[in-house]
Amino acid sequence: METDDVPGGAPNADTAARVREVIAAAGVSQREFARRVVMDPSKLSRSLSGTRRFTVAELARIADEGRIDAGRLLGTRSREKATPPATHVEGGRPLQIVRETVRLIAEHGFHAVRVADIARACATSSAAIHYHFPGRAELLEAAVRWCMDEDTARRAARLAEADDAAAELSQLIALQTPRTAQQRRQWAVWLDLWAEAARSTTVGRLHSEYYRQWRETVADVVRRGVGQGVFRAGLDPQAAALTLTALIDGLATHVLSVDGTASAGAADAMHTALTTHVNDTILAP
């Protein structure tokens, strides 16, 4: 289980100040930095304000992102920047670990993936995996959080390309239809994590928060569409979002259950069904 304490570490205020330096040097927002180190933004905020302590694993990921020695964050090493190790990869070792974990979950399912499998995929040791993510529970949480962040970023990019709410909804439907290998892999991970969410309080909370954000995104689009006159007057945004997201989930699950050669046709059928639903119940006559 994750602990909020760093045994023998430097005073929390000193560590927080050094982490702030790393964030400032990265030139990104605090939320974006949290995404990069696969950390709950609220935990990062509380640690920086002094109401909780960074864990050793969190400091390891922060040091990796800042390309400095972890001892520097605890005040036990020189302020000199460490030479990046030869194994340093783009995006940092923690993100590589999480990406490979997501890929392996999509291919084999979470409970079939061992730490040794992840280490092999990352060309590193199991000890290195545990250095960044001490337990399977923390690694699963990181994988869920990374998938959430990636999905949210893709949605934001698609919505930015649309001219009105009708086009925005069309973009969201296209994004959620598992046509490409990447989309199918993302859905495979979600299906596996949904099952895990029923057994894990932490993953369950993340799952609930993600779906709250996802449905609210759809509801906001519907709300804008009603205001623009492209959607039916008097339409309940929350009810429309609930129905549409549930339909997307059910149809996507069917598409992923279809064998390879037929999956393209199933994805086309899913897209047609969703478009028909929008035309019949959401678009203005």
Give the tens place of pLDDT for each residue, 23-55. Answer: 999 998 998 888 888 888 888 999 999 888 888
pLDDT at position 280 over 60: yes
Determine the Cα–Cα distance for residues 184 and 181; give it in Å rounded to an integer: 5
10: Cβ contacts below 8 Å, ≥ 6 apart: 74, 75, 76
Mean pLDDT of 205-230: 91
When mean pLDDT is compared across 194-198, 259-263, 268-272, the lowest value belongs to 259-263
pLDDT score at 85: 40
Q: What is the mean pLDDT of the chain?
A: 83
Q: Which residue would you say has higher pLDDT here, 276 or 261? A: 276
In the numeric block, which tokens belong to residue 117?
């499998």
- The count of other CB atoms within 10 Å of the CB of residue 79 is 10
pLDDT at position 136 over 90: no
pLDDT at position 231 over 60: yes
Percent of the chain past pLDDT 70, that is, above it, reads 88
Give the tens place of pLDDT for each residue, 88-123. Answer: 434 458 888 988 998 898 888 878 888 899 999 999
pLDDT at position 1 over 80: no
pLDDT score at 13: 80
Burial bucket for residue 163 (CB in 10 Å: 0-12, 13-18, 19+): exposed
Q: How confident is the model at residue 76 (pLDDT cuts 50, 70, 90)?
A: low
When mean pLDDT is compared across 69-73, 105-109, 228-232, the lowest value belongs to 69-73
pLDDT at position 81 over 70: no
Determine the Cα–Cα distance for residues 184 and 167; give it in Å rounded to an integer: 23
pLDDT score at 262: 66
Contact 222, 237 (CB under 8 A): yes
Q: Which domains does the chain have, with CATH numbers?
A: 10-76 (1.10.260.40), 88-134 (1.10.10.60), 139-282 (1.10.357.10)
3-state secondary structure the chain: CCCCCCCCCCCHHHHHHHHHHHHHHHCCCHHHHHHHCCCCHHHHHHHHHCCCCCCHHHHHHHHHHHCCCHHHHHCCCCCCCCCCCCCCCCCCHHHHHHHHHHHHHHHHCHHHCCHHHHHHHCCCCHHHHHHHCCCHHHHHHHHHHHHHHHHHHHHHHHHHCCCCHHHHHHHHHHHHCCCCHHHHHHHHHHHHHHHHHCCCHHHHHHHHHHHHHHHHHHHHHHHHHHHHCCECCCCCHHHHHHHHHHHHHHHHHHHHHCCHHHHHHHHHHHHHHHHHHHHHHCECC
pLDDT score at 109: 83
In the numeric block, which tokens belong to residue 129?
């995996």
In the numeric block, which tokens belong to residue 119?
């280490």
Q: How confident is the model at residue 2 (pLDDT cuts 50, 70, 90)?
A: very low
pLDDT score at 223: 96
Give the tens place of pLDDT for each residue, 143-198. Answer: 888 888 888 888 888 888 888 999 999 999 999 999 988 888 888 888 887 777 77
Q: How confident is the model at residue 75 (pLDDT cuts 50, 70, 90)?
A: low
Determine the Cα–Cα distance for residues 70 and 66; give it in Å rounded to an integer: 9
**Residue among 148, 142, 270, 275 at smallest CA distance from 217:** 148
Determine the Cα–Cα distance for residues 17 and 23; give it in Å rounded to an integer: 10
